């Protein structure tokens, strides 16, 4: 039996058996040997049988047991045609620091059809165009974390020409699979899109799909919306994999090209979802080391974004989904607000200083307090853009009026709250649309682009926080919060 093949705990009995006796073997008294030889032979045989049975039991246990959280196997990760294993299992070339990649940041947004904008307002690249271009760059793998999928009109029983862009995206994904580019999807279970067949269609073409039961694991949902392409390119933003996100809902996000360090770090968050999608998965008390991140708010990635020195890191929520080194989403957002000295511009779908998805609700004023403290204590100008649509909960408005009431220009306290209403027009046949779904925050120092509903207790979400020493990148981001959307919202 090869003792080197066993784990340390299996080698301990063998080491004890090899301890030197109290006297040298050559000096063992003959009578003692003669008298006990038979007994020693029997005991030796029994010991060998015991060791053999233990080794066999251990080997059988290794074969039959599922992988533990400390031993996540490469076979449990998504297949990648170009990589032998997932980037989450491979060390980066350097843990943190400046990388040689020349990262490119592209702000992307969707503008609902027939939404008027103020003259001269800036706009970003159309989201649908950006997604199709990102898929065109794929050579090996596309990993998608998404809340739900609904890319075709029939998914929701609607016949409308505005669904064509979503259907083109679904067709593009099928073409990728036909070119042996792997597609892995982690999505929430149960799904909102109960009639959608998108994932069944893709799975039939070879896509790997895992449904993460976050209701059972955290009493929440998988609300993240990001892509990792070839372990090098990233999309992150507010848009669901829904055709309405491309033509009927206001969305904002970012595509980051040629940034392998950040992409592989975000891939680790994808892998946390992926392993939770296996049957009978449980949340680990401590995540294995290969899920840990060395890029966080204390030690952000440093690189050039379009030639501008920039720092960046990803955050995640809830805390149970934050392996060692990963900054919690709430902490990242509070740091952005706490570091602001001049202004905080934020866009959210809804605004409640309470829990939203727990029963009974409880008061949760963490973000509300941070905005008030910035405005009142530091004279930071606060602009808050909040969505209002047919499905908006009207109990939100007293909270907005309370925040607005804090404003007192005479005391250098500036708080402006506006409600963003997307006119329904002739699109009333499309449910759950015509709304501002963007989730971002901009200050003079940083930009936060996320997909959380401002509740970081149970909901799985991810976000990107970026800052730089110049103004080029964030001047563009700032306009998203203060340009066309702000001017188009006349409701104070």
Convert the pLDDT of each residue in 206-243 to its tens digit.
999 999 999 899 888 899 999 999 999 999 999 999 99
CB 109 within 8 A of CB 128: no
Question: Where is pLDDT greater, at 94 or 76?
Answer: 76
Say if 76 falls within a structural domain: no
7 with 134, same domain: the answer is: no
Q: How confident is the model at residue 9 (pLDDT cuts 50, 70, 90)?
A: very low
43 with 157, same domain: the answer is: no
- Give the pLDDT score at 2: 39
Q: Does position 50 have pLDDT exceeding 50, yes or no? A: no
- Give me the DSSP letters along 167-235: HHHHHHHHHHHHTT-EEEEEEESS-S-TT--HHHHHHHTT-EEEEE-HHHHHSS-B---EEEETTTEEE
CB 464 within 8 A of CB 236: yes
Q: What percent of the chain has pLDDT over 90?
A: 64
The pLDDT of 170-195, averaged and rounded, is: 92
Helix 164-178 vs helix 127-137: angle between axes, to the nearest 10 degrees? 10
The pLDDT of 41-57, averaged and rounded, is: 43
92 with 42, same domain: the answer is: no
The pLDDT of 179-207, averaged and rounded, is: 92
304 with 373, same domain: the answer is: yes
- Give the pLDDT score at 462: 83
Using CA atoms in the order 207, 213, 218, 221, what is the torsion angle rounded to 10 degrees? 60
Q: Does position 482 have pLDDT exceeding 80, yes or no? A: no
118 with 201, same domain: the answer is: yes
Q: What percent of the chain has pLDDT over 70?
A: 73
- Give the pLDDT score at 192: 76
Q: Does position 319 have pLDDT exceeding 80, yes or no? A: yes
351 with 424, same domain: the answer is: yes
Q: Token pair of 456, please?
A: 């970081």
Neighbour-count burial of 309, counting CB atoms closer than 10 A to its CB (0-12 exposed, 13-18 middle, 19+ buried)? middle
Rounded Cα distance, 159 and 162, in Å: 9
41 with 150, same domain: the answer is: no
Q: Does position 372 have pLDDT exceeding 70, yes or no? A: yes
172 with 41, same domain: the answer is: no
SS3 content of the chain, % helix, strand, coil (to 5): 35, 25, 40
Q: Does position 387 have pLDDT exceeding 80, yes or no? A: yes
CATH of the domain at 107: 3.30.870.10
Q: How confident is the model at residue 129 (pLDDT cuts 50, 70, 90)?
A: very high
The pLDDT of 262-275, averaged and rounded, is: 98
Say if 83 falls within a structural domain: no
Lowest mean pLDDT among 67-76, 345-354, 459-468: 67-76
Q: Does position 108 have pLDDT exceeding 90, yes or no? A: yes
Q: Within 10 A of 358 (CB to CB), how many other CB atoms are there? A: 14
Q: How confident is the model at residue 152 (pLDDT cuts 50, 70, 90)?
A: very high
Which regions of 437-489 does DSSP assign to beta strands (E)? Answer: 440-443, 446-450, 461-468
Q: Does position 195 have pLDDT exceeding 90, yes or no? A: no
**Residue carrying structure tokens 């083109």:** 168
Q: How confident is the model at residue 451 (pLDDT cuts 50, 70, 90)?
A: confident
pTM of the model: 0.80
204 with 324, same domain: the answer is: yes
Q: Which residues pair with 343 in a beta bridge?
A: 381
Say if 79 falls within a structural domain: no
Rounded Cα distance, 385 and 368, in Å: 14
Neighbour-count burial of 394, counting CB atoms closer than 10 A to its CB (0-12 exposed, 13-18 middle, 19+ buried)? exposed
The pLDDT of 121-149, averaged and rounded, is: 95
- Give me the DSSP letters along 26-70: GG--HHHHHHHHHHHHHHHHHHHHHHHHHHHHHHHHHHHSPPPTT
269 with 332, same domain: the answer is: yes
What region, left, alpha or beta, does residue 432 occupy, with left being phi > 0 and alpha being psi -120 to 50 degrees?
A: left
Nearest in space to 284 (alpha carbons), one of 209, 373, 217: 217
Domain count, the chain: 2
Say if 82 falls within a structural domain: no
Say if 72 falls within a structural domain: no
Q: Which residues pair with 435 in a beta bridge?
A: 249
Q: Does position 444 have pLDDT exceeding 70, yes or no? A: yes
Say if 341 falls within a structural domain: yes
Which regions of 349-439 does DSSP assign to beta strands (E)? Answer: 381-388, 415-421, 435-436
- Give the pLDDT score at 407: 98
157 with 24, same domain: the answer is: no
Rounded Cα distance, 416 and 422, in Å: 19
- Give the pLDDT score at 358: 78
DSSP label at residue 338: H
The 10 Å CB-count burial string (b at 16+, else e) for 265-297 is: bbbbbbbbbbbbbeeebeebeebbeebebbbbe
Say if 190 falls within a structural domain: yes
211 with 303, same domain: the answer is: yes
Q: How confident is the model at residue 463 (pLDDT cuts 50, 70, 90)?
A: confident
- Give the pLDDT score at 120: 77
CB 387 within 8 A of CB 350: yes
- Give the pLDDT score at 437: 95
Say if 63 falls within a structural domain: no
Nearest in space to 248 (alpha carbons), one of 156, 353, 115: 115
Provide the annotated active-site residues.
Answer: 223, 225, 230, 437
Q: Does position 100 have pLDDT exceeding 90, yes or no? A: no
Q: Token pair of 98, please?
A: 């400046």
Nearest in space to 220 (alpha carbons), one of 356, 371, 347, 363: 356
Domain span at 43: 3-50
Rounded Cα distance, 413 and 98, in Å: 39
């Amino acid at each position: 039996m090869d003792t080197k093949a066993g784990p340390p705990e299996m080698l301990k009995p063998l080491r004890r058996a090899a301890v030197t006796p109290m006297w040298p073997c050559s000096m063992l008294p003959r009578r003692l040997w003669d008298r006990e030889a038979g007994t020693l032979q029997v005991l030796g045989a029994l010991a060998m049988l015991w060791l053999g049975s233990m080794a066999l039991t251990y080997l059988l246990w290794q074969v039959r047991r599922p992988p533990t959280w400390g031993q996540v196997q490469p076979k449990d990760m998504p297949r990648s045609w170009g990589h032998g294993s997932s980037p989450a299992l491979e060390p980066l070339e350097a843990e943190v620091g400046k990388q040689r990649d020349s990262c490119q940041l592209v702000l992307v947004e969707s503008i609902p059809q027939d939404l008027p904008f103020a003259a001269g307002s800036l706009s970003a690249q159309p989201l649908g165009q950006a997604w199709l271009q990102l898929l065109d760059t794929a050579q090996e793998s596309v990993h998608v974390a998404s809340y739900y999928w609904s890319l075709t009109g029939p998914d929701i029983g609607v016949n409308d020409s505005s669904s064509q862009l979503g259907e083109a995206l679904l067709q593009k994904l099928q073409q990728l699979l036909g070119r042996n580019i792997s597609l892995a999807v982690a999505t929430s279970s149960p799904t909102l899109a109960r009639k959608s067949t998108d994932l069944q269609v893709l799975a039939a073409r070879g896509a790997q799909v895992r449904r993460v039961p976050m209701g059972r694991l955290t009493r929440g949902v998988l609300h993240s919306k990001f892509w990792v392409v070839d372990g090098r390119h990233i999309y992150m933003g507010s848009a669901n994999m829904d055709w309405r996100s491309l033509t009927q809902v206001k969305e904002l996000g970012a595509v980051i090209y040629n940034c392998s360090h950040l992409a592989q770090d975000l891939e680790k968050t994808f892998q946390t979802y992926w392993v939770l999608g296996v049957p009978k998965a449980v949340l680990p008390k401590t995540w294995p080391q290969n899920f840990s991140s060395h890029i966080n708010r204390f030690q952000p990635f440093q690189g050039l974004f379009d030639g501008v020195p920039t720092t960046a890191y990803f955050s995640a929520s809830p805390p149970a989904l934050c392996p060692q080194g990963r900054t919690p989403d709430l902490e990242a957002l509070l740091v952005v607000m706490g570091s602001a000295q001049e202004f905080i511009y934020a866009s959210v779908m809804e605004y409640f200083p309470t829990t939203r998805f727990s029963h009974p609700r409880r008061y949760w004023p963490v973000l509300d307090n941070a905005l008030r403290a910035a405005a009142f204590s530091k004279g930071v100008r606060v602009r808050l853009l909040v969505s209002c649509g047919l499905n908006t909960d009207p109990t939100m408005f007293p909270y907005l009026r309370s925040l607005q009431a804090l404003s007192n220009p005479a005391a250098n306290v500036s708080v402006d709250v506006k409600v963003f209403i997307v006119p329904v027009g002739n699109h009333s046949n499309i449910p759950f649309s015509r709304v501002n779904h963007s989730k971002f925050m901009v200050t003079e120092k940083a930009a936060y682009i996320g997909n959380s509903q401002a509740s970081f207790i149970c909901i799985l979400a991810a976000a990107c926080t970026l800052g730089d020493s110049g103004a080029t990148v964030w001047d563009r981001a700032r306009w998203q919060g203060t340009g066309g959307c702000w001017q188009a919202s006349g409701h104070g």
